[in-house]
Structure 1
Amino acid sequence: MKELGKVLKTFSATKESSGLPRPIVSKLNLIENYGIQDDKFAGKKLDQTVMIVGLESYEIAKKNHIDLSFGSLGENILLDFDPHDFEVGMQFFIGDSIIEITQICTVCNHLNVFDEKLPQLLKSHRGLYCKIIKSGIIKQDMIVKG
Structure 2
Amino acid sequence: MIIGKVIGTFSALKGQSGLPRPTVNSLTLVKDFGIENDKFAGKDLDKTVMIVGFNSYALAKEKKINLEYGSLGENILFDFNPHKYKVGTEFKIGQSIIKITENCTICNHLAVFGNELPSLIKDCRGIYCTIVQSGIIKENDSIELLKKG
Global fold match (TM > 0.5): yes
1:18-43 alpha-carbon deviations (Å, 9 max, x no partner): 10000000000000000000000000
1:110 aligns with 2:128: no
Contact between 1:21 and 1:70, CA under 8 Å: does it hold in 2?
A: yes
Listed as ranges, the gaps of 5+ residues in structure 1 are: none
Partner of 2:128: 129
**How many Å apart are 1:68 and its aligned residue?**
0.4
- 1:95 equivalent in structure 2: 94
Write out aligned runs for 1:1-146 (5 A). 2-146=1-145
Question: 4+ residue stretches of structure 1 with deviation over 2 A?
Answer: none
Alignment RMSD: 0.6
**8 Å CA contact 1:4, 1:145 repeated in 2:** yes
Among all aligned residue pairs of Structure 1 and Structure 2, give the percentage whose two residues are the same amino acid. Answer: 57
TM-score, normalised with respect to structure 1: 0.98
Q: 1:17–1:23: 8 Å Cα contact kept in structure 2?
A: no
Structure 2's unaligned 5+ residue stretches are none
Tell me the TM-score normalized by structure 2.
0.96
**How many pairs were matched up?**
145
Amino acid of the structure 2 residue aligned with 1:18: S
Q: Tell me, in whole angstroms, the C-alpha distance in 1 between the residues paired with 2:15 and 2:137.
A: 21
